[in-house]
Amino acid sequence: MKKLRRKTLAAASAVTLGVGLAVTGGLAPAASAAGPDTTYLVLAPQGAKTDKAAARVAAAKGTVVADYHQIGVLVVRSTNPDFATDVAGAGVDSVASTADLGTAIEEGETLEVSAAMAANATADPTKEPLFGQQWDMPMIDVPQAHAVNAGSAGVVVGVLDSGISSTHPDLADQIAKDKSTSCLGGVVDTTESAWNPTTSDHGTHVAGTIAAAVNGLGVTGVAPGVKVAAVKVVNDDGYIFPEAAICGFVWAAEHGMRVTNNSYYIDPWELNCRNDARQRPVWQAVQRAIRYSQSKGVLNVASAGNANYDLAHKNTDTGSPNTGTPEVREDLTSACLVLPGEAPGVVTVSAVGPTGEKSYYSSYGQGVVEVTAPGGDTRFRTQGARSTLTDAILSTTFNTATRTNGWGYKQGTSMSSPHAAGVAALALSAHPGMTPGQLTSFLERTSVAKSCPDGVYNPVPLIPSGPNAYDATCSGGQRNSFYGAGMVNAYNVVK
């Protein structure tokens, strides 16, 4: 993370030194050594104002860089190595450093498509130049949906991600620029350059799946009539820190967004444990932000994850933290959750490939996954031996090295989640009065149920990581652990 300049602390230190000289008449006592410039989340008691907490922050030699008074959360920077201890007291419910709590976004593989292939003027979404390679759109009946309702410009989907290219020809007219921002460091920056991509085109790809225009160029989105807003939460190193996600949820709530897409998880621990003293304040702060957004009419949609993990039976975590040497954490309980995917009220989406079956990598879980959607599966054709990128999801891209726009393939639940978010946006376009809870229920009722495969499921036994590396067993009946209520369907929500 970029460091903030600490002018106020330097001034305070100078005053302290002056007082020391005046009182002692000699050399002042040595000041305590400063620590690294660290970000903290400071939580006021639930329902309380943040003024008392802010006063304690100042007394503990911290600087408030963002005050989310709506949810009682302060984002603070401090070089005081004892800040977490010093800030405790009346007006402060809990505090946590977010150092090392950023999680790297999963980019997946990308294959670029030439601009020449992407241009062919037409007004028919099925005749968009690259529509023939968008196997995902017919799978969820997008052409039939567009014949009825392609989306309303009054519906804005917040893309909490790495930014959106504002110059992409398939997206330039689709972005609600007045609702776009960077949330890096937990601080709002609405300048256009701030919310454009810098080192990752992940958000541009996600945005295209939701709302790429029907304009005779490239691809079509699920809901080309709606708008997307860039809410940048991924920093230049590819990490999502809790303070950025909190900022994103509150920003979406305050700026009239009806849906957000969240193709990431928070924390280096894939499972964030409420019964862990260090992780609990982060969990509480994120929960407050999500609940606040829901109270303002926002439906939050999130990816299930790409670990082929049964989220309903979280016993062991062997791949975290992703910021250092992974540890084995055993005997985990239901107190450990994937955020934001497992937060109450969030629609969690698993992924399927071109066959409609669970993608080999997609996490799952009975009672956790609400719906499924196309996310790509590049390994099923060869049983895992080799990758076929055209079986991934084709969407808009931005080459951050050459600063050029394009189209390309990615796969992951990062790609399935925006399909569901796009369908939710179509549903709101056709039925604008629905609350988040009603919309969740509607998405589930209109999904096409999918049955569990028999026995142990593994479409990639020849994958280099081993013949049983992606074994998974589906549980449940019409609503099950692989697919939840079923495959989202764009036509069913508008007909």
Question: Is the per-residue pLDDT at 293 higher than 90?
Answer: yes
Which member of 136, 161, 267, 391 is catalytic? 161
432 CB-near residues (< 8 Å, 6+ apart): 152, 154, 155
108/55: higher pLDDT: 55
**Can you tell me the distance from the alpha carbon of 128 to that of 119, in angstroms, rounded to the nearest whole number?**
8
All domains of the chain in start order, with CATH: 7-97 (3.30.70), 111-494 (3.40.50.200)
| Confidence band for 9, pLDDT divided at 50, 70 and 90 | very low
What Å distances lie between residue 166 and 170, 380, 448, CA to CA? 10, 35, 35
Task: Please state the separation of Cα 252 from the chain's center in Å.
Answer: 13
Residue 12, pLDDT score: 28
Average pLDDT over residues 127-139: 94
**Can you tell me the distance from the alpha carbon of 344 to that of 1, in angstroms, rounded to the nearest whole number?**
29
Task: Name the DSSP class of 271.
Answer: S
Query: 69 an active-site residue?
Result: no
pLDDT in tens, 405-451: 999 999 999 999 999 999 999 999 999 999 999 999 999 999 999 99
Return the minimum-mean-pLDDT range out of 276-290, 327-341, 389-403: 327-341
Residue 361, pLDDT score: 96
**Can you tell me the distance from the alpha carbon of 142 to that of 125, in angstroms, rounded to the nearest whole number?**
9
Which member of 97, 182, 200, 414 is catalytic? 414
**Can you tell me the distance from the alpha carbon of 317 to that of 198, in angstroms, rounded to the nearest whole number?**
32
Residue 278, pLDDT score: 72
**Can you tell me the distance from the alpha carbon of 23 to that of 313, in angstroms, rounded to the nearest whole number?**
63
| Confidence band for 29, pLDDT divided at 50, 70 and 90 | very low
| Confidence band for 473, pLDDT divided at 50, 70 and 90 | very high
Residue 107, pLDDT score: 60
Token representation of residue 120: 């062919």
Residue 320, pLDDT score: 60
Token representation of residue 266: 């928070």
**Can you tell me the distance from the alpha carbon of 244 to that of 188, in angstroms, rounded to the nearest whole number?**
9
pLDDT in tens, 330-351: 656 667 777 888 889 999 999 9
pLDDT in tens, 218-270: 999 999 999 999 999 999 988 899 999 999 999 999 999 999 999 987 755 55
Q: Rounded to the nearest 10 degrees, what angle do helices 413-430 and 202-211 cross at?
A: 30
Residue 114, pLDDT score: 57
Return the minimum-mean-pLDDT range out of 2-16, 171-185, 321-335, 467-481: 2-16
**Can you tell me the distance from the alpha carbon of 97 to that of 326, in angstroms, rounded to the nearest whole number?**
20
Query: Which residue, 153, 169, 171, is CA-closest to 161?
Result: 171
Question: Is the per-residue pLDDT at 152 higher than 50?
Answer: yes
**Can you tell me the distance from the alpha carbon of 465 to that of 316, in angstroms, rounded to the nearest whole number?**
19
Which member of 146, 168, 202, 255 is catalytic? 202
Query: 414 an active-site residue?
Result: yes
| Confidence band for 321, pLDDT divided at 50, 70 and 90 | low
Question: Is the per-residue pLDDT at 19 higher than 70?
Answer: no
Residue corresponding to tokens 């495969």: 453
Residue corresponding to tokens 């990615």: 410
User: Would you state the torsion angle of the CA atoms of residues 163, 167, 168, 173, taken in this order, to the nearest 10 degrees?
Assistant: 100
Query: Which residue, 241, 378, 243, is CA-closest to 306?
Result: 378
Task: List b or e across 384-416, with b for residues whose CB sees 16 or more CB atoms inside 10 angstroms.
Answer: beebebebbbbbbbbebeeeebbbbbbbbbbbb
Question: Is the per-residue pLDDT at 375 higher than 90?
Answer: yes
Token representation of residue 244: 């950025």
| Cis peptide bond N-terminal to 281, omega within 30 | no
**Can you tell me the distance from the alpha carbon of 472 to that of 453, in angstroms, rounded to the nearest whole number?**
10
Average pLDDT over residues 315-344: 69
Residue 102, pLDDT score: 72
Task: List b or e across 130-143, with b for residues whose CB sees 16 or more CB atoms inside 10 angstroms.
Answer: bbebbbbbebbbbe
> Which neighbouring-strand residues pair with 408?
112, 395
